[in-house]
Structure 1
Amino acid sequence: MIRPLFRRGGAALAAGTLLLLSACGTTETPTASTTSTTSKEQTSAAAGPVEVIDGRGKTVRLDAPAKRVVALEWGEAEMLVTLGVMPVGVADTKGYATWVTAEKLDPSVKDVGTRQEPSVDSIVQLNPDLVVMEAERGSPLLAQIEKYVPVLVAKASDASDNLERMRGDFTMIAETVGKRDTADQVLKDFDAAIQQGKQKLGAAGAAGGAFVMADGWQEGNAISIRPFGQGALVSQVAIAAGLKNAWTGKVDKVWGLGQTDVEGLTAIKGEDVRFLYNASDGSDVFAQGLEENSIWTSLPFVEAGQVHKLTNGIWTFGGPKSCEQYLDELVRVFTA
């Protein structure tokens, strides 16, 4: 499975391929009370050698927790900032600023090229202790970078249990930067946020409410739609909060993502369904490309006025803080 990428910030699928894709409220930086450690044992553990097994099953060893880290995907970059470690380099910092607002990058963070083709030279020049990338990068790029610096490969997605996968990636990264205590607190807060969201939805009579989450993009006159199925990360956030995914079409086994067109959306029944979509870069095919499409305008959720654009900058492939943003959005939509 190739990492989902975006054309003009919108989702892009490889031509003619159904499942291989061409490749989540505001939050606050953890306070000192949640990030600091006080015991001698904790301090020693955070300063000593590090050894973890990464997403490809390889043991990654560091003499000490990494301080200078380069992230080649936005989800892992977000996780690092949540942990209190500002990356020294990130692939496509401009794109990150458009699509990810849960955690902001400092102006000092260097752009190391595109997510598709990061620059090895730019990465090495930053003299990092560690490079974090995602599981599908089994290309020559991985071997090239490992000639100069240790590489930690995150699993990135697993549609069989994406919430647990996200927690695992976050904890693994925390171990490599000596921030396991911070990670434990963040995940504890995340679990509490899920329960609070579930309570708010229940109090509003929205428990069990149906949703569909999708991306859309246009190429020429053709509009393609990518629904997020049961196993997609943000879908699992919604399900954990007590909602029901109304998209039952075929999806891939890694990302939980499908492919359809406007006609395919007729399979979604019921005017109580909320249809959510992401268009952070301004390319809004649902508002600007389908407004005169008779099939689209006749869909029950469209007729009922239940089409909701996400607040810009909620990354649907992110870490705990992006997931909390998405949860806040669900509460907003279902309790309005």
Structure 2
Amino acid sequence: MFTSLRVVVLGACLLAFTAPGMAQTWTHEGGTLTLNEPPERIVALNWAATETLLLLGITPVGVADKAGYSTWVQEPALPGDVANVGTRVAPSLEAIAELKPDLIVTSTEMAPAARLLERIAPTYVISVYTQDSQPFERAREMLLTLGQMTGREDRAESVLADIEQTLGQQRERLEQAGLTDKPVALLNFLDDRHIRIYTPDGLYQKTLDSLGLSNAWQDAGNFWGFASTGLEAVADTRNSRVVVIDPLVPGLADSLASSPFWTYLPAVRNHEIYRVPATWPFGGVYPVKRLAVALTDALIEGGSDNVR
């Protein structure tokens, strides 16, 4: 049985389930969505949606880019028997229909196919990453809304409480270690001369803010929350710690170790280069927690003069 939850979500829900079989309607980016009962067979067409369902304890019957999820997102783990329905940019409508879903979760990137998807099953459209959006708040909204739709409001609230508790614990660890005194630059290497640096308008900013850390890179990025730039831009992040997020380009450490430019950087000279495992920067709420733990561990363990 469903209970009502007072959460403002894109115009909010219009009705509440009070008994099995009673309809509830939500507004979303694609219009309105009405369900007569909690959906059980759900297809997720992006990884943020896949992650969100798994956090709710729901195994989707089908996902897009299944292999990629296991490589890049990893947590929460996706069971091996989940069907793959094609790519995130061009899923197979036939494969989706064969699964007989009673709910499809997608984003506005799939707008051209929205009407076709709705012919298969009710379709919930929410985009975590759009111009001027706040990714964590949008991901939080998706979690709470899907919690409503599936009768798992308590589970959704518990997930959010756990994330906030973890963030608080990691902040306390950093403060006790005296490691909130310097800004942090979060980046991936594209090659030995180019980087992707994470900006204040991205998902990772929630992690930094919650840990009491400032972002060494203050310029705005794209709506995905990063800027692609040359390695020389790191020189502008003075008096900061540089955190390199996996995966690394093969041979990168050796290339950087012999680079006069790299070895000149203050963070390199101060042994303040840190490396953390891969986290998916374009996901839902969970990467915020995962990065917080990895980042705190890395800072406490200490830095080096290269990306070993």
TM over 0.5: yes
- Structure 1 residue 126 displacement after superposition: 0.9
In structure 1, distance between residues paired with 2:211 and 2:232: 29
**2:20, 2:159 → 1: CA distance?**
17
- State the partner residue of 1:75: 48
Show the counterpart of 1:6. Answer: none
Give per-residue Cα distances to partners, 1:167-190, cap 9 Å, x unaligned: 112112222222111101111121
Question: Take 1:319 and 1:45, find their aligned partners in 2: how far apart are those partners?
Answer: 30
* Inter-CA distance 142–224: structure 2 relative to 1 (3 Å threshold): farther
Q: Does 2:225 correspond to 1:256?
A: yes
The match for 2:140 among 167, 173, 176 is: 167
CA distance in 1, matches of 2:42, 2:199: 33
Alignment-derived partner of residue 323 in structure 1: 288
Amino acid at match of 2:150: V
**Comparing both chains, which one has the higher relative contact order based on Cα–Cα distances under 8 Å and sequence gaps of 6 or more?**
1
Paired AA for residue 280 in structure 2: W
Aligned AA for 2:44?
Answer: A
Correspondence for 2:180 among 201, 204, 207:
207
Q: Is the 8 A contact 1:92 1:115 kept in 2?
A: yes
Bigger Rg, which one = 2
Q: Deviations over 1:108-160 (max 9, x none)?
A: 1011111222111111111111111123322x222322222221112213555
Alignment of 1:8-19 (within 5 A): none
Instruction: Give distance in 1, aligned partners of 2:179 and 2:48.
Output: 29
Q: For the Cα contact (< 8 Å) 2:17–2:24, is it kept in 1?
A: no
SS of aligned partner of 2:196: strand
Please name the residue that 2:24 is paired with: 50
In the TM superposition, residue 98 of structure 1 has moved relative to its aligned partner by 0.9
Aligned partner of residue 110 in structure 2, secondary structure: coil
* Residue 164 of structure 2 is aligned to residue 216 of structure 1: no
Mapping for residues 1-336 of structure 1, pairs under 5 Å: 44=18, 48-54=22-28, 56=29, 58-138=31-111, 140-157=112-129, 161-218=134-191, 223-252=193-222, 254-270=223-239, 272-279=240-247, 283=249, 286-287=252-253, 290-312=256-278, 314-336=279-301
Q: Give the Cα separation in 2 of the matches to 1:46 and 1:226.
A: 49
Paired AA for residue 258 in structure 2: E
RMSD of aligned C-alpha atoms?
2.7
User: CA separation in 1, counterparts of 2:255 and 2:126?
Assistant: 36
CA distance in 2, matches of 1:47, 1:211: 51
With normalisation by structure 1, the TM-score equals 0.78
8 Å Cα contact 1:200-1:331 kept in structure 2 = yes
Mapped to 1, the partners of 2:4 and 2:198 lie a distance apart of 45
1:320 CA drift (Å): 3.1
TM, length-normalised to structure 2: 0.84
Shift of 1:223: 4.5
**8 Å CA contact retained: 1:211, 1:276:** no
Gaps of 5+ in 2: 6-15, 302-308
**Alignment gaps of 5+ in structure 1:** 1-36
Q: What is the one-letter code of the residue matched to 1:316?
A: P
Letter aligned with residue 255 of structure 1: W
In the TM superposition, what is the alpha-carbon distance from 1:57 to its structure 2 partner?
A: 5.9
Quote the offset at 1:48 in angstroms: 4.3
